[in-house]
Structure 1
């Protein structure tokens, strides 16, 4: 899951990025006018529009361009990094970001940053306990802040109605907060300012927003964005599927698959290698049949097992098939692995299923998945166990998707199951 953040200055972008890194994201800041990184290593990008002190119309144009870039990059969640002392074109930039989101998207404005002495109570932003307008920012030479009541300050800059949820609703817990939020939305508000005095209260609001099912644009100096991204990624990982693509024919693989099936309760989709060992129409027919069956199985099995290894099934006589096909045995063996890889590609790119990661067993299968997925390779990050590696696809159709690869003769009976569990922890 990719996070796209738009900031109005570079130091603020860096501050928000560091908080995302601490939540387990691989983040990069992008300076104004630069392009997004081609490196698939990142799952959080913070774009600096350098728009804090420029004319509102120009600021909105820059935000619109940044939104377009983040959408093309594949961001699933968008947030707005705002100045912790509320300088800049905050309301106008929130409006512009909402334009690029779903019609029912809302923005939650939470300027609180307890670790930096920023807290919200009664709708007022306090800096070390002092109302904003009575601090040094009231004397800012470019854009002095003359108000401390945040709903009014944002309302002066936005075309949307601005609502407010007070500290009492936040302190009473998630249900109370969501009830008050619903009441504010019913009045027509699309931007809601929310109080918070502590990091724990920010976390509670983030968890509530993640569970609400609403499309949310967080607008904050960093803490709410980090907590919300963590909560959303955890929920995403719980719902998304994990693909297990196994082409190894060893008896150990059979034992490992049996243990995985026992632990997960998944029903494998068996791919028949016989029609895949061919250059005839049977190859395409089997690929389409297995893909259709797997998409159906993904509706009930979170761990989706697709394999050519079926208990009791005899190995394909590649020498005899080679004579029939007029091809080499090696060429037909590759047709089998390419068939399994093609099924994997169709599944991983399907709009019907979301995948948090995948596991592949067998070097030939892994190589075919990379080739047919047009990946440059795998960005290696960790070792799951000896000869089982964790990384993310670099480039191609699965860019950034977590993957664990393992040889067919590696590990004990628990090996594939442990690899799948490893993917789950990384996805969360």
Structure 2
């Protein structure tokens, strides 16, 4: 049976595209590595995460090639590259790696828009909620800043492959114009074609045209284009699509653990708002103590675990927040790394590893945690890996890019989780996520009882 294989450069990206497929009734799971792919025969789509967004170009290409090899070994005949909605990472290099693993006639079709998250492409320019990409907070991202709003210009700096574009004018002119533009772009020698889109209808039109052309295509996008191409290629099951509004509001007996490792202003606002809700407890983590893996870190990890477990023994709050940035002043991690003799990125890794240890410590000492909300892609990865999870079965989203699933394997097998990037959502989002996890966990308790 043919399967869809997707490569994502981080876990939150993997879950984002995964839930779009799940909402179209395509069984899908995201995995950290390839070892467990062959054990899971129930999926039509596999997503492998390479954790390659912030690594060197050569390392990113090597990881992606290994992922493609594993996907092919597990019957993936259609391939897709999931990219960040804000164009962070080694996009050009990773697309190169995938195309090099495909037949010579393969062509990359890139539609870097996700209109449901207010990410669109106009004239080649990436617009994020009405603001050019380079003028958003992502331009100052700690690990992977993006200072170029024009997508074709950005990608041309990352690959030697010839690139052509499809303008919004062609999209608005309809199917015949879009088909003509794609054929012309390929005749001009393009190996990667980048298309404008400002609505889901535009993405659907592009997918219909590309599917009808019967080309050997690598889809490149944040998720909507891949989902539409999967649909037109027959990756769907019959039945009613999931409607998140129909999920029962059953009572859940327990607590949702919120682990907030993102330092973005968006996350701070969301967690601060959540902390002010009734029956919510907040435990700040002293970040400076976690930068180095030493006695100070061990002491702080132990303190937070004991504090959380004591709260849970005394009561059952709706949510328990473990956070690193709401009550802490912003820390210059690069300066801390220089001062402590650490490698680049090591401070952030140590902080996220500590959040993983804290989460595991809490779960090992209490059964009251019924779900976990994780914000920050690196935080999510470290928490789940520390819990020895092998992947996530994707179910739905709370809002686009706040993705609901169930843990596969490890200490938290079957636990309901939501992962969200640090730049996504409104002030209310964290509150909505906690409520949604509680509903899903309550439903599962009813089914199992």
Alignment gaps of 5+ in structure 1 = 238-428
Residue 13 of structure 1 is matched in structure 2 by 14
Shift of 1:189: 1.2
- In 1, Cα distance between equivalents of 2:144 and 2:122: 24
Q: 1:25 to 1:236 in 2, by over 3 A?
A: closer
In the alignment, is residue 161 of structure 1 matched against residue 175 of structure 2?
no
Residue 171 of structure 1 is matched in structure 2 by 172
Residue 214 of structure 1 is matched in structure 2 by 215
1:316-355 paired onto structure 2 within 5 Å: none
- In 1, Cα distance between equivalents of 2:232 and 2:34: 31
1:58-73 paired onto structure 2 within 5 Å: 58-73=59-74
Residue 105 of structure 1 is matched in structure 2 by 106
Q: Is the 8 A contact 2:65 2:98 kept in 1?
A: yes
Residue 147 of structure 1 is matched in structure 2 by 148
- In 2, Cα distance between equivalents of 1:21 and 1:227: 12
Residue 85 of structure 1 is matched in structure 2 by 86
- In 2, Cα distance between equivalents of 1:146 and 1:159: 20
Residue 97 of structure 2 is matched in structure 1 by 96
- In 2, Cα distance between equivalents of 1:39 and 1:153: 37
- In 1, Cα distance between equivalents of 2:237 and 2:116: 28
Between structure 1 and structure 2, the one with the greater Rg is 1
Residue 131 of structure 1 is matched in structure 2 by 132
Shift of 1:179: 0.7
- Residues paired across the two proteins, number: 237
Q: Is the 8 A contact 1:31 1:47 kept in 2?
A: yes
Deviation by residue 1:26-73 (Cα, 9 ceiling, x = unmatched): 101011464424121111000000000001111111101000011111
- In 1, Cα distance between equivalents of 2:82 and 2:6: 7
Residue 114 of structure 1 is matched in structure 2 by 115
Deviation by residue 1:350-386 (Cα, 9 ceiling, x = unmatched): xxxxxxxxxxxxxxxxxxxxxxxxxxxxxxxxxxxxx
- In 1, Cα distance between equivalents of 2:82 and 2:195: 15
Deviation by residue 1:106-153 (Cα, 9 ceiling, x = unmatched): 111111100101011111010011110111111112221111110111
1:16-35 paired onto structure 2 within 5 Å: 16-32=17-33, 34-35=35-36
Alignment gaps of 5+ in structure 2 = 239-449
Deviation by residue 1:246-285 (Cα, 9 ceiling, x = unmatched): xxxxxxxxxxxxxxxxxxxxxxxxxxxxxxxxxxxxxxxx
- In 2, Cα distance between equivalents of 1:18 and 1:182: 31
TM-score by length of 1: 0.54
Q: Is the 8 A contact 2:34 2:48 kept in 1?
A: no
Q: Is the 8 A contact 2:124 2:195 kept in 1?
A: yes
SS at match of 2:76: coil
SS at match of 1:108: strand
Residue 434 of structure 2 is matched in structure 1 by none
Q: Is the 8 A contact 1:30 1:46 kept in 2?
A: yes
- In 2, Cα distance between equivalents of 1:193 and 1:218: 11
TM-score by length of 2: 0.51
Q: Is the 8 A contact 2:25 2:236 kept in 1?
A: no
Residue 193 of structure 2 is matched in structure 1 by 192
Q: 1:140 to 1:234 in 2, by over 3 A?
A: closer
What is the root-mean-square deviation in Å for CA atoms of aligned residues? 1.7
* Larger RCO: 1 or 2 (CA < 8 Å, sep 6+): 2
SS at match of 2:198: coil
Q: Is the 8 A contact 2:25 2:237 kept in 1?
A: no
Shift of 1:188: 1.4
Q: Is the 8 A contact 1:32 1:50 kept in 2?
A: no
Residue 354 of structure 2 is matched in structure 1 by none
